[in-house]
A and B are shown apart, each in its own frame.
Chain A
Amino acid sequence: MDMSQYKELFVSEVREHLQGMNEAIVTLEEAPDDREKIDFLFRMAHSIKGMSASMGYNEMAELSHKMEDLMDRVRKGIIGFEPSVADLLLEGCDILAAMLDDVDSGGDGHYDIIDLIQRLVGYTPPQDYETVPSDTKTTRKPEPEISAERSETPQNVRVKTEVLDTLVNITGELITNKNRVISISRELKAQILTDAISDLSRLVRELHDEVLKVRLMPFATITDRLPRVVRDLAKKSGKEVVFRVSGKTIELDRGILEELADPLLHLLRNAVDHGLESPDERRAAGKKSEGSIAVEVQREKDRLLVSIVDDGKGMDPRRIATTAVEKGLLRQEEAAALTPQQALMLICLPGFSTATEVTDVSGRGVGMDAVRAAVQAIGGTLTIDSTPGKGSRFTLALPLTISIIQILLVECSSVVVAFPVSKVLRTVDLKKDAIFNRGKRKFIVVGNEEIPLASLHRLLGLPLTPLREESIPAVVVEIKERTVGLVVDRFVGQQDVFVKPLGSPLNRMKGFFGGAILGNGRVVFILDPANIL
């Protein structure tokens, strides 16, 4: 029987099972008597064995069979779930994942598993390990029937992600076309058409909301593998870490989740490698030898806050500013003017840290320029809080979706460009006499703060237009940790648009978040203020 048509489903299901096994193994290391997790691990191994055998991937079936046998010994209380069992099972998961990758790319899943099979079969507990008390064996719950595993599975349908992407694209095009019809209706001044468009707009908005809901995935999609990652990093660096994730059932657009996986991993790696002290250092500082790292996810209005928190050595803003000056990244007087939070953000500057030259100060900056760029690319922001000796908190504020955003359209020298509204701190209409000079630079006062004024024309390479007497429109944004006012010719308006990613070669230009087609057919570029310089 030709099973190739089921391969995609097989790969997807086994990958999910392996993800679950990884998470369960790490959990069991901390709570080895968790009966539910022990049964879960056994069932997952059993399922992978069955699926692999039916697809003809016999080596995968054999390996998962031996893992299942080992778990059966744990279930029966013959051996305990000691760390060496966890190591063996994690090794098995890694090899199964490699075999699965091979299957996914058209191979037969072959892998040299003889050595691991022998170690699984011949496993004996270390002599100093305490076996499970006999009363535990006698009082445990009856083993669940394997066949009942899916009896209460809700009725779900697997949909290819490409189909969802197409749905989002079509909805986006509907919004673009709706805006176009609104433009025509304004020109025609036809009330009956305006009323009809109002109904259409409501339906399109509802459709948009529903389609975006379909794309939502729980944060757990990317956090389930993190306990394993942190465990491995901690072992490698000789540190003791208690890791927890909260809010992982909160849902987020798949596109953002995919882009977030790497930055999150990087922040965790930095937290283990450079944030936490060694157990000896922690004890000497009066702390518990186990360090704590947490990923906290919470929804705040229309954005998601993801925080990576550790109770490690923290960072000193003054030392970071001094290091940045020493590296020639900013001048002494600029460093002196920074707030503590602005100084902490200096670790994200390219060149603050290099992988070959890591010190206790620069270590936290390794790869942070890439992390910040990735977060900004999906319309998010990164902030850092830290207290020396107490720990650090890196917070990513993310939009819930990146497909459809609200933009502020502005005009400069007859060129219309857009800012994501989420990136605009405020807009101001300035009087000419409100602008004053400090050296060669122009400044204005916004709130209680003096902020530099720049010309968006100049930043975009457009010809300058003379400043008007009556009022000068400016958009206040943040550029490289500094609040800046950008002078424009006029504000055009706000609207929801479907963001079109820029392909090559346009995507090589810095400072653009994407493009959009307006209702009148005009193509506009959406600026990424943080990277416009």
Chain B
Amino acid sequence: MSGKARRFLIFTLHDKRYALNVEDLSEVMVTPTTFPIPKAPEIFLGVMNFHGSPTPVLDLTTFLHGNPPNGGGSVLILDHKIGSLAIRIDTVERIVSDIRGLQVRQDSGPYRRQSILFNEETIPILAMDLVMTELEERMRTGRGNGSGSRKAKAG
């Protein structure tokens, strides 16, 4: 075991809990104003101005569950080494660390390799590299592209 403790951010989405490695994140903020992304799949809320950089906002509820969100929520800005992407989630719950007996297990569900056992609940850790690979493929091939991002369709 390495000496460095791993920390995970636990958030909710569509009444389910998910976790993200804190190292994959650079910032958390309330959902900002977004602008349409022409040609993009409807899984995107739009594009936001993140410190002067156009950053697409992925609606994680639509991406994972196919349902549109209730509105509001927060966005998690990914670390630039993962990509230029923000993801909209419902609520941020807490940050946990594996330093005090938090169990990290192998997992094989969609967009995950591991999960954590916290308060007797198994919470999947989203593998953002797998999410990015899927997004890049959808952008490249236009797969699932409807009438642009949700804002573009709504006008």
Q: Interface of A with B (CB < 8 Å)?
A: 173, 176, 413-415, 417, 460-463, 500, 502-506, 508-509, 511, 515-517, 521-525
Residues in chain B near residue A462, CB distance under 8 A? 38, 147-148, 152-153, 155
B136 within 8 A of A: yes
In the assembled complex, the CB of A253 is this many whole angstroms from the nearest CB of chain B, namely 20
Contact across chains for A413 and B35 when beta carbons are under 8 A apart: no
In the assembled complex, the CB of B96 is this many whole angstroms from the nearest CB of chain A, namely 29
Can you show 18 pairs from A to B with CB atoms below 8 A apart?
A: A460-B148, A461-B39, A461-B148, A462-B148, A462-B155, A502-B84, A503-B55, A503-B84, A504-B132, A504-B136, A505-B56, A505-B136, A506-B54, A508-B139, A511-B39, A515-B47, A522-B35, A523-B35
Residues A523 and B49 in contact in the complex (CB < 8 Å), given A462-B152, A509-B40: yes
Contact across chains for B84 and A517 when beta carbons are under 8 A apart: no
When A and B form their complex, what is the total count of cross-chain residue pairs whose Cβ atoms lie within 8 Å? 94
In the assembled complex, the Cα of A509 lies from the Cα of B84 at a distance in Å of: 14
Least CB separation from B147: chain A residue: A461
In the assembled complex, the Cα of A415 lies from the Cα of B47 at a distance in Å of: 12
In the assembled complex, the Cα of A302 lies from the Cα of B49 at a distance in Å of: 30
B110 within 8 A of A: no
Residues in chain B near residue A502, CB distance under 8 A? 54, 84
In the assembled complex, the CB of B60 is this many whole angstroms from the nearest CB of chain A, namely 14
B122 within 8 A of A: no
In the assembled complex, the CB of A161 is this many whole angstroms from the nearest CB of chain B, namely 19
B20 within 8 A of A: no
Contact across chains for B38 and A461 when beta carbons are under 8 A apart: yes
Most buried by B among A173, A462, A505, A506: A505
Q: Which 9 A-B pairs have the closest CB atoms?
A: A503-B84, A515-B54, A460-B38, A508-B139, A414-B155, A505-B135, A508-B140, A504-B83, A505-B136
Residues in chain A near residue B152, CB distance under 8 A? 413, 415, 460-462
Least CB separation from B148: chain A residue: A461
B72 within 8 A of A: no
B37 within 8 A of A: yes
In the assembled complex, the Cα of A36 lies from the Cα of B117 at a distance in Å of: 75
Contact residue among A461, A509, A521 (Cβ-Cβ distance under 8 Å from B49): A521
In the assembled complex, the Cα of A506 lies from the Cα of B153 at a distance in Å of: 18
Which residues, 113 to 145 on B, are CB-close (under 8 Å) to A? 132, 135-140, 145
Contact residue among B33, B132, B148 (Cβ-Cβ distance under 8 Å from A415): B148
Contact across chains for A415 and B36 when beta carbons are under 8 A apart: yes
Contact across chains for A500 and B53 when beta carbons are under 8 A apart: yes
Residues in chain A near residue B85, CB distance under 8 A? 503-505
B3 within 8 A of A: no
Contact across chains for B83 and A503 when beta carbons are under 8 A apart: yes
Which residues, 4 to 23 on B, are CB-close (under 8 Å) to A? none
Contact across chains for B148 and A505 when beta carbons are under 8 A apart: no
B48 within 8 A of A: yes
Contact across chains for A506 and B148 when beta carbons are under 8 A apart: no
B65 within 8 A of A: no
Residues in chain B near residue A417, CB distance under 8 A? 38
Residues in chain A near residue B56, CB distance under 8 A? 505-506
Contact across chains for A508 and B47 when beta carbons are under 8 A apart: no
In the assembled complex, the Cα of A516 lies from the Cα of B54 at a distance in Å of: 7
Residues in chain B near residue A511, CB distance under 8 A? 39
In the assembled complex, the Cα of A463 lies from the Cα of B135 at a distance in Å of: 23
Most buried by B among A417, A461, A524: A461
Contact across chains for B140 and A523 when beta carbons are under 8 A apart: no
Residues A517 and B135 in contact in the complex (CB < 8 Å), given A503-B83, A506-B84: no
Residues in chain A near residue B37, CB distance under 8 A? 506, 525
Contact across chains for B140 and A500 when beta carbons are under 8 A apart: no
Least CB separation from B50: chain A residue: A523
Least CB separation from A508: chain B residue: B139
In the assembled complex, the Cα of A176 lies from the Cα of B84 at a distance in Å of: 20
In the assembled complex, the CB of A505 is this many whole angstroms from the nearest CB of chain B, namely 4
Contact across chains for A523 and B54 when beta carbons are under 8 A apart: yes
Contact residue among B48, B53, B151 (Cβ-Cβ distance under 8 Å from A503): B53
In the assembled complex, the Cα of A191 lies from the Cα of B4 at a distance in Å of: 59
B146 within 8 A of A: yes
In the assembled complex, the CB of A389 is this many whole angstroms from the nearest CB of chain B, namely 42
B71 within 8 A of A: no
In the assembled complex, the CB of B38 is this many whole angstroms from the nearest CB of chain A, namely 4
Contact across chains for A500 and B52 when beta carbons are under 8 A apart: yes
B80 within 8 A of A: yes
Contact across chains for B47 and A523 when beta carbons are under 8 A apart: yes
Residues A461 and B83 in contact in the complex (CB < 8 Å), given A173-B52, A500-B54: no
Residues in chain A near residue B39, CB distance under 8 A? 460-461, 509, 511
